[in-house]
Amino acid sequence: MYRVAEDFVKDWAISSKGALKVMQAIPDDKMHIAIVDEHNSLGWLSWHLVSVAGAFGHFAGLQIPGPGPDMPQPETMAGIIEKYEMVREAYKKEAAALTEEQLLEEVPAFGGMMKRGELLGKVISHQTHHIGQMTVLLRQAGLAVPPVMGPTKEMQ
């Protein structure tokens, strides 16, 4: 639950930088990698982070340029990364302008009401959850795992 916009902006900068590193570690020919067939792939998870961040932003009343529900996943990681970088920058700008009062306002989200500051916390928690999944898939694909929150085994 964020009560000060600056705190979210700082956490978002760290979280989104980690997400970007993970996305940049995925070559196009590994976008299809999933733990087993018909589970979420690296490409799908990357695109999911873009689209869901847009939806969370919409619920929070922020102008986040997320893709619409009918927009297909780009065929390359460069296409996904381009959209993610737009979302990343929009959150920095939009969230920085929120007041303490706005962070405490209740907004409609996920079939109920939620404080805007709580919703912003869920954006980061959701992203962290999927970044963890993606690092496991990177290893499964035989790819190097980038440092998200510190050094990785490959760096030791």
141 CB-near residues (< 8 Å, 6+ apart): 30, 33, 42
Look-up of token digits 């109920």: 112
Counting Cβ atoms within 10 Å, is residue 128 exposed (0-12), middle (13-18) or buried (19+)?
middle
Query: Is 58 annotated as a binding-site member?
Result: no
59 closest CA partner among 119, 129, 100: 119
* Residue ranges with strand state E in 11-118: 106-109, 112-115
Q: Which two tokens stand for residue 37?
A: 């067939």
Q: Provide the token pair at 107.
A: 């907004």
Tell me whether residue 130 is annotated as binding: yes
Tokens 């993970």 found at: 22
129 annotated binding-site participant: no
Task: Name 143's Cβ contacts closer than 8 Å, sequence gap at least 6.
Answer: 25, 26, 27, 30
What residues form the annotated binding site? 48, 126, 130
What residues form the annotated binding site for a divalent metal cation? 48, 126, 130
